[in-house]
Amino acid sequence: MTGHAQANVSQNLPSGDLGRRLAARRAQLGLTAQETAARAGVAASYVTHLERHPGAAPGRGTLLSLAAALGTTVSALSGGDADVPPGREQAGRAPELLVLSRAECAELLSTHGVGRLAVSTDLGPVIVPVNYTVVDGAIVFRTARGATPSLASGSIVAFEVDRVDDTFSQGWSVVTRGYAHTVNDPDEERRLAKQAYSKPWSGGRRDMWVRIEPYAVTGRRVVV
């Protein structure tokens, strides 16, 4: 590809770190760089090059091949949809809504990540995202005292996680209801800190641990 043609491709591509998204997507699917390359019909060394060089600008055809190999879209792979909500695609053909078992819900919850916490406030119910981890069957997260998530302590709350696959117009959601309380035992706080998958993405000092003990868990999955 000539420098001029490569520049035109770069200008037409959505912004984003292709390498990180490529590596994350194939890791999510459990694929090696060699397996990804074989699926896409490119050299394994080129996949490695794309992952290690954020400024790499593959042609549109290569991006389409990689996206197809990884079961995603060019926009998602290159970061063009980073600031838009999921679920923008049309409904799939002949979709089916399945009820998930308690075991399936527990397995999906245990993947950790970001969930949505519904709490009551003086102005009415509020839903906020929190980074969470499942420890001993309970949902735990850390927050700052006085912050909206801290209002969960001492009350019944709802907690929801979901995943949406725009490429195939399918996904799942799990809703948990339970009693939330503050963890005040220093030893327990240290144990949770060691087991937590991630610190809060929002940063800052967030040393208040909240634990949700579920009493009801339900889930649904849309398949096509």
**2-25 average pLDDT score:** 57
**142-155 average pLDDT score:** 93
Contact by Cβ (8 Å): 141, 214: no
CATH for 73: 1.10.260.40
For residue 90, being part of any structural domain is answered with: no
Q: Are 192 and 109 within one domain?
A: yes
Q: pLDDT (tens digit, 9 = 90+) per residue, 76-107?
A: 887 776 666 766 667 777 888 899 999 999 99
Report pLDDT for 87: 67
Q: Which domain holds residue 102?
A: 96-223
Report pLDDT for 107: 92
Contact by Cβ (8 Å): 57, 10: yes
Q: pLDDT (tens digit, 9 = 90+) per residue, 168-205?
A: 788 899 999 999 999 999 999 899 888 888 888 788 88
Q: Does pTM surpass 0.85?
A: no
Report pLDDT for 13: 39
Decide which of 9 and 50 is more confident. Answer: 50
Q: In sequence order, which residues have a C-beta less than 8 Å from that of residue 192 and are 6 or more positions away?
A: 133, 135, 140, 142, 183, 209
User: How many domains are contained in the chain?
Assistant: 2
pLDDT of residue 135 exceeding 70: yes
